[in-house]
Each structure stands twice: as structure tokens, then as C-alpha cells.
């Protein structure tokens, strides 16, 4: 809420189309007088980037990006407006000079700082912007020496420049350079009222909802009032056009993350006679940080209730255009909701997110952990000019998200303290004024109801230890620890975790990456790695394939390449399932885990849970099966057998039936027991498998008295009507492609299409191929002899037409059956 959404009598004119752009050598044109002679202009839009315009003109390819920081980029627009206006730039990347005709208007030296100027527009005027080449500035001799140099970032001069690190981290992201007006440009014609410097704070506590406002309002015609949620409070004049109001909202209800309740939002406005100022919508929630009984943890309480935060890290969905409007963000955020996630982390390597992003998170009930845009570098915190830039960008961002109930955590940046500690610098000898003072003060002033952390990871004798504060947990993952490390490490909160080279669905590879895995250069170029490391994240995935399944990945991919890819798809999901099952159990000290990364930059085996085409990967489906608010989980407890956990995060008690069943490969349960459960709201239940079956049976095959008699243990949480709420599996032995077929029955009901699947024998991995419909689950296990119902929803990109029609595949691509017409 940096600015009012609408003011009576004012006009807000977006300058979004009819731009043209031309490129020159650095410094070739000093100003518009010289740029007028340029002839090679191409069409562009704002918000937009040079890469986006070049791609549209067929002069640049995202799969083979060419550098853009070695040229000046000139943008021009013939203005239709005339008269006195405010010219507002919400983001210019990065060193920009602006003219109206040949008159200088402003300069910008930060991608993250909005700029505004008052202008008088003559008829026929042209707006010019020159984005100066970043390359010469990166090559300049540094003004101060860094105490450490992060190897993952190519250009060390970026520590002095306020721009995104994306595009400058080989092995992490494509080398797409951000150049251009990446956020909207607007002209504002003020009406009789002008509103500035709005401060809006919504809160919830034992007394209920309260809205606090302070703003400068020029030209207020009479006494005004603040209105929200059926309440009204008079504006109190403070002098010099400054007003404040404090409004209790007794009719308002609390806002909750989607896993824990509803998301009521209320319109806020200032009313003075016939004049109205729309302040947008807000919600009321209270946030507390719970450090635990030992004072060393990190957990969130929302409205007094503990919340297990789970989700993934976010970077811009499209590196080329950097779009962050509703159309770009909504499909991905809805996929987070569908997977049971309730938190998204905007990482310090990216960009500050837009008001549209926060409005969506408010509506969908997704908590936002937002880093300030700092990562890895030893930033020049002793430079007054740099600090002033940082303060200005932080205040501009925070003013833009005031009143957003989804904003839960602000963090000074990513892996700065860790980088220093891993370089051997003693943590006790380091001061962090940028994070402990400048950004902390900005957060306290403009987001007082939001949790603040100076950096992540942080806490403990070294910032990256897992059992204190907040960690980036890669014990299971890059450090190749056994799955049991997820418990042994005592993780309190993982702001990053579980990075694997996650293999997309075969259909995505067929469309966008026709290259053999793993060593084809086209494939390997899209596998993430740390710059300079002797391994990549595909090696990490192969390590767990061998550790968990016993096969040799090298031999497997040569002799059975399709089976290798399917097992690779499955193994990262199995690792994530095991870790989150461990962390979500009631006795775990862990209060949250955010997977790195939500969505891939380009098609391939990237970190993303969702591929670059927007298709969920098998690991996304695996997480969906363990992250729901009403959930059953299984954990292995050594010689104590298996534990079954029932979780209920919702506001109402859970009355259900718990089923524990044991199977071999063929149909028919060896053991099948059921027990009524009643789990209170926000409650959890843990039961021993031995207790549930009422006798000894070596469920986990820990005792090994003779040959193993079973292959699968299943826990199901069943609704009173018999529908499956949640299901968990413990598979003994490595997954093997099952024999037999799968009977598929296509059903059409009022709610849409569904597919009923029944397997003759155990199928540990089933993939549904349907070009027009997306399954609600995929890469799942089929219990022998039992029917599983999978919902099918139309893919928007496929358009209308016929009903579902597809194929069912087993591990390795063997056909199990088909459904639909033909």
C-alpha cells in the first residue's frame, strides 16, 4: 500500500505501450539529441526489459542468452498527455537517465528504488530513458577491499551496485541480464486531493482487530474519517497536512494462513464528504516469534497458534521479462496452495516482489518470508552513500506492502553471515550494521507487526548450525547425509532445504529438452551446481538413488535409461517425504521447512518443484501427499517399529478412522486394523504401529527374524463416509516395476472427471499421461487390489474439446493400461 489505490478526481495513466528501444555502444549517445539519429529501433513495452523486446523481435534467445550489460539501451515514448503531471517510475534497472525531450528529469542508480518527478509536458513531447551499460562499472577498481569473495557470483563489483544477482551466478540461473523499466511507469494527474507518505498498520490481539493510519493529505475539504470492516474513526489533524486515525474493528475476523483457517480481507478507505481515497484491502492477524523453552529456536505463532511453515523459495517466474503481475504469479501461487504449502520465501538473490504478488498471497492465505535483496557479499556498510541507498530502497518496499496480512517475516538477506563464517572469519569479531541496524530499523518503523531476522542462516555458535535459530539445511541433500540426519541435526527452522536436480515429467523433456540424460552438454548445462565445485546436484540425486534403492546410477542409465529417469524422479520425492514426515511429527523441534526452489528457470533437471513450463514435477506431488493440514504420516523408529502420526491443523476437531494395513505384492492385506480417532483442533496424535495392530509384527523389518513376509505398510485417514483424507506408505525394499496391469475406469460426475485405478499387484510408481487433463496426483503408489481415485482437471493450455484420454505407465515407462476414447 505504498500509494492509495484510487483518489476521487485524480487520474492514473499507465505508460505501458508504444515504446521503442535501441542499443548502442557504451556512451555513444550523451543524450536525446544524439539518440534521435539512431535508426535501429524495435518495439517494447513497460514494464519490460531489453531481453524481452529483443526476444520478441527475434534477436535474442533465452536458451542461448547473449550479454546485455555491455551496451547502452535507449527507450523512447511519444507522450499523448499534456500539462502538469507526476512522472513515476516503480523500477529502473539499473543506471538510468531520464529526459523529457532534451531536458534532464532524473537519474537512477538502483534497480530497487522508485523515482518520481514533477514535469510539465508540452504537446508532442517525447520521454527518453537511457539505461547505461553496467559492464564498465563492474570492471572499475573497487573503492574498498572485501573481507571475503563469494565464488558463486561472477562479478565481484556487484556488491557496490543495487541490482539483482540473478543472471550473474553461473550454475544457479541462466545469464539473463536485467536491463530496462522492469516495473510500471505512470503519469499521475492530481485532483483536488493529494495523499503522500501513507503509514497503515493492521493488527490482531486479544482485544480484536485494530487499524492504525497516518498520512499526509493535501486539500482535504472537510473532516475526514477512516473506514474499514464496518467501523469508522475520525482523522485527527497533526499539523501541516498530516493526519492520523486509530480504528477498532469489532466486526472483523482474524486472517489465517490457508492451512489454519480463513482469509477475510476488508476494504480500507478515507472518506470526506463526496471525496473517497481507496487504501486497498487489509486483513488482521497477530505474529509472534516463539524461541522455544531453551530460547534457541525459531517458530511462528499466528493469532496465538503455532504454525508449521512449509513451502518453497521464490524467484521471478520469468527471468526475461521479470513480470510480477497477477497473470504471472497467480498460477504458481495456486499450485503452492494445492500442494498444502502455506509459506513462500522471496530470496535475497532475486528482486523485491510486487503489490500484485502480496495481494494474491493475502487472498490465498500464503505467508510471505521476504528477504531484503542482499546475498553472500561483504557489502560496503561503512559507505554513507551506499547506506542511504539501502535505507531508501527498504523504506520504499515496506511502504508498498503495508497492511498486507501475508507478510510474516522480513530478513536482512541470504547467506552473508554464513559466507563470512565459512571463510574462516570468527563470528564474534564481525559487526553487521546493515542488518542489525539499518534494515532492522526500517522493519521496526514500517512493519512493526512482522518478525525480523538479520540474515539467514543465523543463530548458534556458527550461523549455519541446524539446531539453533534458522538454518539452510542441506544435510539431506548436498552434504549427502542419511535420511536420519533430518532428526539427528535437530533442525529448528529451515529457510532453505532439500535442493536436488529434480527431473521433470517425460512430456516436458519431449517438448523442451530433447537431449539424453545425463552427460549430453545440453542436459548438463541445465543442471544446477555451485560455481567451481567438482560436483553438481545431479550427483547428489544419484547418491540418494544408490543409497535408498541400491542400484548403480552409472550402470542403470546406460542399460535402462527410462528406468533411471523414473527412479530419479521418484528418489528426490522420497527424500522430501521422509524429511517432512520427520519434521511435522509433534515431537519434532522443527517449526518449518522451505524447499529450494519452487520453479525452474528453464526446462531440465533444475531445483524447481515445478518445471519451466508450469508442470508440477513428481517431487511436487510427493510433497503434496505430506503437507496437507489434515494428514497421516509414518516415521521409522528403529527397533520401536513404525510410528503413525495424525495431524489436524484446522480450527475444528478431526473425527475420523485410522487404518493400518500390511501388504505383500499381491492383492489382499496380511494385516488390516482400524481405530477411531478424534484429534482436537490444532492437535496431533502419535501411535505406535505395534499398539495399533495389538501384537508383534516386524512392520519395519528391524528385527529380521527370517525372511520378510511383506512389502508395504499403509496408513490411511478415512472420513466418516469412507473417503480417504490422507494416506502414507512405508515401502520395504527398493521400488521395482510391478507386473500385471491396472484397470482404469473413467468417471464423470458433477464435480468433473475422475479416474478410478485398481492394480492387480503392487505398483510403487504410476505416471498418468494425458495431454488435455492434469491428474490431482502422479508418481504415486498403487496398493495391490485396492482402488485409488484420481481427479482430472482440464489443462487451460489444451483448450476445450474431448474428455480425458490417456495412458498409465509404470516405472521405466511400461504401459499398465489406458483410458478414454480411441
CB 221: neighbour CB atoms within 10 A?
Answer: 11
Summarised one tens digit per residue, pLDDT across range 696-736 is 999 999 999 999 999 999 999 999 999 999 999 999 999 99
3-state helix, strand, coil in the chain (%, to 5): 20, 35, 45
Average pLDDT over residues 613-625: 98
CB 366 within 8 A of CB 341: yes
- Under the banding of pLDDT at 50, 70 and 90, the label for residue 7 is confident
Residue 801 has pLDDT above 80, yes or no: no
- Which pLDDT tens digit goes with each residue over 756-780? 999 999 999 999 999 999 999 999 9
Given a cut of 90, whether residue 556 has pLDDT beyond it is yes
Q: What one-character-per-residue DSSP string does 481-539 give? A: --TTHHHHTT-S-EEEE--------HHHHHHH----TTTSHHHHTTS---TT-S--HHH
The reported pLDDT for the residue numbered 8 is 77
Going by pLDDT thresholds of 50, 70 and 90, the confidence category of residue 681 is: very high
Q: β-strands 787-794, 773-775: how paired?
A: antiparallel
Give the Cβ contact number of residue 472 at 10 Å: 21
Annotate 9-60 with DSSP letters as a single string. Answer: T-EEEE--SSEEEEEESTTS-SSHHHHTT----EEE-SS--HHHHHHHTTS-
Total residues found in the chain within this entry:
822
- Across 235-265, b (16+ Cβ under 10 Å) vs e yields beeeeebebebebebeebbbbbbbbbbebbb
Residue 2 has pLDDT above 50, yes or no: no
Cβ–Cβ under 8 Å, residues 739 and 761:
yes
Q: In this structure, what is the dihedral angle of CA atoms 358, 362, 363, 365, given to the nearest 10 degrees? A: 120
Instruction: Say yes or no to pLDDT of 469 above 70.
Output: yes
Q: What is the mean pLDDT of residues 414-439?
A: 94
Task: Give CA–CA dist 429/421, Å, rounded.
Answer: 10
pLDDT the model gives residue 193: 86
Q: What is the mean pLDDT of residues 491-498?
A: 98
CA Rg value for the chain: 28
Strand partners, 131: 73, 96
How far apart are the two ends of the chain, measured CA to CA in Å? 54
C-alpha cell at 87: 512522472
- Judge if pTM exceeds 0.85: yes
Q: Which pLDDT score is estimated for 797?
A: 61
Give the model confidence (pLDDT) of 95-128 as tens digits: 999 999 999 999 999 999 999 999 999 999 999 9
Per the listing, cell 544524439 goes with 34
Bond into 277 cis (ω within 30): no
Is the CB of residue 600 less than 8 Å from the CB of residue 608? yes
**pLDDT tens-digit readout, 177-234:** 999 999 999 999 998 888 999 999 999 999 999 999 999 999 887 789 999 999 999 9
What's the pLDDT band for 682 if we cut at 50, 70, 90?
A: very high
For 564-608, the pLDDT digits (tens) are 999 999 999 999 999 999 999 999 999 999 999 999 999 999 999
pLDDT at site 9: 81
pLDDT score recorded for residue 737: 85
When pLDDT is averaged across residues 260-267 and rounded to a whole number, the result is: 98
Average pLDDT, the chain: 96
Binned at pLDDT 50, 70 and 90, residue 3 comes out as low
* Angle at the Cα of 627 from the Cα atoms of 625 and 630, rounded to 5 degrees: 90
Query: Given this model, what pLDDT does residue 1 score?
Result: 40
Q: How many CA atoms lie within 13 A of 142 on its CB side?
A: 16
Amino acid at each position: 500500500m505504498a500509494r492509495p489505490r484510487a483518489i476521487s478526481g485524480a487520474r492514473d495513466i499507465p505508460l505501458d505501450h508504444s515504446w521503442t528501444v535501441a542499443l548502442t555502444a557504451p556512451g555513444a549517445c550523451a543524450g536525446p539529441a544524439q539518440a534521435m539519429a539512431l535508426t535501429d529501433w524495435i518495439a517494447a513495452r513497460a514494464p519490460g526489459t531489453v531481453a524481452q523486446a529483443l526476444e520478441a523481435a527475434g534477436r535474442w534467445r533465452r536458451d542461448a542468452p547473449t550479454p546485455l550489460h555491455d551496451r547502452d539501451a535507449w527507450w523512447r515514448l511519444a507522450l499523448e498527455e499534456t500539462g502538469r503531471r507526476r512522472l513515476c517510475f516503480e523500477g529502473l534497472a539499473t543506471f538510468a537517465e531520464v529526459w523529457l525531450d532534451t531536458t534532464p528529469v532524473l537519474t537512477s542508480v538502483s534497480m530497487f528504488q522508485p523515482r518520481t518527478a514533477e514535469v510539465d509536458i508540452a504537446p508532442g513531447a517525447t520521454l527518453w530513458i537511457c539505461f547505461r551499460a553496467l559492464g564498465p562499472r563492474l570492471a572499475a577498481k573497487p573503492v574498498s577491499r572485501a573481507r571475503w569473495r563469494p565464488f558463486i557470483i561472477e562479478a565481484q563489483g556487484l556488491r557496490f551496485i543495487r541490482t539483482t544477482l540473478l543472471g550473474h551466478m553461473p550454475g544457479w540461473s541462466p545469464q539473463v541480464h536485467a536491463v530496462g523499466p522492469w516495473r510500471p511507469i505512470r503519469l499521475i494527474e492530481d485532483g483536488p486531493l493529494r495523499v503522500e507518505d501513507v503509514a497503515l498498520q493492521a493488527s490482531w490481539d486479544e482485544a480484536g482487530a485494530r487499524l492504525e493510519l497516518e498520512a499526509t493529505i493535501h486539500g482535504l475539504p472537510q473532516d475526514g474519517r477512516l473506514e474499514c470492516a464496518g467501523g469508522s474513526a475520525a482523522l485527527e489533524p497533526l499539523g501541516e497536512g498530516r493526519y492520523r486515525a486509530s480504528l477498532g474493528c469489532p466486526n472483523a475476523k482474524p486472517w489465517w494462513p490457508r492451512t489454519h483457517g480463513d482469509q477475510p480481507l476488508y476494504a480500507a478507505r478515507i472518506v470526506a464528504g463526496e471525496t473517497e481515497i481507496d487504501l486497498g484491502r487489509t486483513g488482521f492477524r497477530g505474529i509472534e516469534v516463539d524461541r522455544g523453552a531453551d530460547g534457541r529456536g525459531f517458530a511462528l505463532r499466528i493469532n496465538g497458534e503455532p504454525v508449521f511453515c512449509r513451502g518453497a523459495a521464490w524467484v521471478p517466474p520469468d527471468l526475461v521479462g521479470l513480470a510480477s503481475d497477477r497473470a504471472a504469479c497467480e498460477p504458481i501461487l495456486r499450485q503452492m496452495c494445492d500442494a498444502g504449502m502455506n509459506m513462500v520465501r522471496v530470496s535475497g538473490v532475486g528482486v523485491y516482489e510486487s503489490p500484485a504478488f502480496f495481494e494474491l498471497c493475502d487472498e490465498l492465505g500464503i505467508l510471505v518470508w521476504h528477504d531484503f535483496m542482499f546475498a553472500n557479499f561483504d557489502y560496503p556498510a561503512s559507505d554513507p552513500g551506499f547506506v542511504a541507498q539501502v535505507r531508501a530502497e527498504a523504506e520504499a518496499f515496506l511502504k508498498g506492502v503495508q497492511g498486507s496480512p501475508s507478510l510474516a517475516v522480513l530478513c536482512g538477506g541470504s547467506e552473508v553471515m554464513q559466507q563470512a563464517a565459512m571463510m574462516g572469519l570468527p563470528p564474534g569479531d564481525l559487526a553487521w550494521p546493515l542488518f542489525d541496524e539499518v534494515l532492522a530499523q526500517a522493519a521496526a518503523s514500517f512493519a512493526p507487526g512482522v518478525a525480523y531476522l538479520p540474515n539467514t542462516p543465523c543463530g548458534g555458535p556458527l550461523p549455519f548450525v541446524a539446531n539453533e535459530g534458522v538454518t539452510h539445511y542441506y544435510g539431506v541433500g548436498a552434504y549427502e547425509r542419511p535420511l536420519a540426519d533430518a532428526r539427528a541435526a535437530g533442525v529448528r527452522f529451515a529457510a532453505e532445504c532439500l535442493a536436488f536436480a529434480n527431473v521433470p515429467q517425460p512430456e516436458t523433456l519431449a517438448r523442451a529438452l530433447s537431449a539424453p540424460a545425463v552427460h549430453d552438454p545440453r542436459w548438463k548445462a541445465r543442471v544446477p551446481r555451485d560455481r567451481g565445485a567438482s560436483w553438481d546436484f545431479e550427483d547428489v540425486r544419484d547418491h540418494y538413488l544408490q543409497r535408498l534403492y541400491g542400484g548403480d546410477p552409472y550402470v542403470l542409465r546406460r542399460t535402462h535409461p527410462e528406468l533411471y529417469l523414473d527412479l530419479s524422479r521418484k528418489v528426490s520425492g522420497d527424500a522430501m517425504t521422509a524429511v517432512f514426515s520427520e519434521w511435522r511429527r509433534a515431537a519434532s523441534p522443527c517449526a518449518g521447512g522451505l524447499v529450494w526452489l519452487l520453479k525452474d528457470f528453464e526446462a531440465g533437471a533444475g531445483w524447481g518443484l515445478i518445471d519451466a513450463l508450469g508442470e508440477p514435477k513428481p517431487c511436487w506431488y510427493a510433497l503434496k501427499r505430506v503437507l496437507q493440514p489434515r494428514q497421516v504420516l509414518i516415521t521409522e523408529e528403529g527397533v520401536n517399529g513404525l510410528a503413525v502420526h495424525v495431524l489436524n491443523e484446522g480450527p475444528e476437531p478431526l473425527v475420523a478412522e485410522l487404518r493400518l494395513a500390511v501388504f505383500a505384492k499381491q492383492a489382499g492385506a496380511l494385516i488390516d486394523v482400524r481405530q477411531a480417532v478424534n484429534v482436537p483442533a490444532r492437535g496431533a496424535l502419535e501411535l505406535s504401529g505395534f499398539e495399533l495392530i495389538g501384537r508383534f509384527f516386524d512392520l519395519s523389518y528391524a528385527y529380521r527374524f527370517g525372511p520378510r513376509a511383506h512389502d508395504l505398510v499403509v496408513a490411511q485417514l478415512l472420513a466418516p463416509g469412507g473417503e480417504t483424507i490422507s494416506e502414507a506408505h512405508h515401502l520395504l525394499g527398493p521400488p521395482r516395476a510391478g507386473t500385471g496391469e491396472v484397470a482404469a475406469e473413467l468417471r464423470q460426475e458433477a464435480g468433473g472427471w475422475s479416474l478410478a485405478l485398481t492394480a492387480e499387484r503392487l505398483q510403487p510408481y504410476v505416471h498418468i499421461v494425458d495431454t488435455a487433463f492434469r491428474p490431482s496426483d502422479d508418481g504415486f503408489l498403487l496398493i495391490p487390489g485396492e482402488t485409488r481415485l484420481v481427479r482430472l482437471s482440464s489443462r487451460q493450455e489444451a483448450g476445450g474439446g474431448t474428455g480425458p484420454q490417456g495412458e498409465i505407465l509404470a516405472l521405466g515407462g511400461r504401459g499398465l493400461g489406458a483410458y478414454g476414447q480411441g
